Structure formats: C-alpha cells, structure tokens
Amino acid sequence: MITNSASGTSIDEIADGIHRISTPATVVPGGFTFNQYLILDDEPLLFHTGLRKLFPLVREAIAAVMPVERLRWIGLSHFEADECGAMNDFLAVAPRAQPLGSETAIMVSINDFADREGRPLADGETLELGRHAVTWFDTPHLPHAWETGYLFERRTSTLLCGDLFTQFGAEHPPVTDGDIFGPSEGARKGMDYYAHAPNTRGMLERLAATRPTTLAVMHGSAWRGDGAALIRSLADALDA
C-alpha cells in the first residue's frame, strides 16, 4: 500500500502483525531503500525510525495502520542515522514511547542523544508486546558498530536483521521467497560495510539457531524461507 505517492513510501504486512515501511532513495547508483518494521500489538514496536529527514513519510505510513501516539518502543540495531535519526521526532509525538536497544547502545549513545531514557535489553532478554514477543541478540560489529544487535520475534519466527542481507535497488517486492543472497553478496562486495569481527560465525550461528522463517531486512525485500540455511550461507561467504 503506497502511503505517499510523491516519495513512493509504502507499508505492507510481511508477517502476522508485522508491517514493512519502505521508502526508495537515490543515495547509491541504482537506488536504495530504507525500511522500518512496525509490530502492531498492545505495546507497538517500531524497529528503526529511518533518517531524520524521512520522519514525515514514516509517520504518515504508520498512521495508515495505527495512531502514531500509540507507539511504545522504538528499537534500533545500532546507532546510525538511518536506524535512529528520527528518534526524537517520534518521542515528541508518542508520549509513552521509549528507545530500545542493546545495553551498549543505551549507555554509549541513546541516553545522551534521545530526549527520553532508553530501555536496555540484555543479550537473550525477551520483551512481551502482547501477541508478539521479541528476544534480543547482541552481535557486536556484525556487520558494523560495537552496540549492534537484533530482535527475534518469537510468535512469527521473524528475525529483524537490520543491515544483514542488504540489497541495492530502489524497487523491491515487500517480501519475496526469491534469491536475496546473490544481490546482498553483490552489495557487500561492492561497498564493504562489514567490520569482520573475529567471532562472526558464532554470532551468525546463534541467529540461525532461532530458525527464522521471515527475515525483516532493512534495505531491500524482506524474505521468506529457511532463514537458518540463508544465515549459514552468509557465514560461509564471510569465511571465504
């Protein structure tokens, strides 16, 4: 569903109660997308805000499915502009909302940057949202930034996998069961954004062990299929 025809911003449900908001951009040749994921529940969670300048578009897309002031959690994988640039704009319009991220992210950046105190999540900690529940995984430096981690939504087996499996291009289906690994490896090799942490395989193996059936990718299409196998393919490629 297109929510802004000038920008092409859209919102689509990619798993039960999980909505992908996507805005095309021209930041790299061939185009790019910035995606955010909204988990609709008693305590609605937005994973990533988008760039500060995208705030009006992301807000408009959320408003198509729920009142924005209902937002309870604003999560981030790591501290970058596309992950949390619009954090304070959302905190201003959602009085109950709180930032949500790794203990490192909250300690190092969020509790200074954000206008409301953050809620740190310990590695392995689960947060109940209502019908959904999310578990935090610390993955420092995977693919980049000390504070990085991911959320796994247990009821839909959806891994909110941030910058993993980034695909270039401005036009993507909201969710696909086609090949995203080839395109994401092309993006990784074309613009090496990986920190290559020494225990990368171990961290990817922990994510694979959740056996996700949907990967909620931040740049490109979300993906449906055998997530464990796809994550292990990435671990093999990073070893090579």
Q: Which residues bind Fe ion (CB under 5 A)?
A: 80, 82, 163, 218
Q: At what angle do helices 181-190 and 227-239 cross, to 10 degrees?
A: 30
What gap in Å lies between CA 23 and CA 36, rounded to an integer?
A: 9
Which CB, 41 or 54, lies closer to Fe ion?
Answer: 54
Structure tokens at 99: 């930032």
Give whichever of 41 and 82 is closer to Fe ion, judged by the CB atom.
82
3-class SS of residue 91: helix
In the complex with Fe ion, the residue whose CB is nearer, 94 or 218, is: 218
Q: What is the DSSP string of 2-38?
A: EEETTTTEEEEEEETTEEEEEEEE-SSTT-EEEEEEE
- Listed in sequence order, the DSSP H helices in the chain are 55-63, 81-84, 87-93, 103-105, 111-113, 181-190, 200-208, 227-239
Of 227, 140, 136, 133, nearest in space to 180 by CA: 227
Cβ-closest position to Fe ion: 163
Of the pair 13, 80, the CB lying nearest Fe ion is at: 80
Nearer to Fe ion, 144 or 155 (CB): 144
Closest CB 131 distance from Fe ion, rounded Å = 27
Tell the smallest beta-carbon distance from residue 218 to Fe ion (Å).
5
In the complex, the smallest distance separating the C-beta of residue 58 from Fe ion, rounded to whole angstroms, is 14
Residue 148 beta carbon to Fe ion: minimum distance, rounded to whole angstroms? 8
Closest alpha carbon to 172 in 37, 24, 47, 26: 24
Q: CB 42 → Fe ion: shortest distance, Å?
A: 28
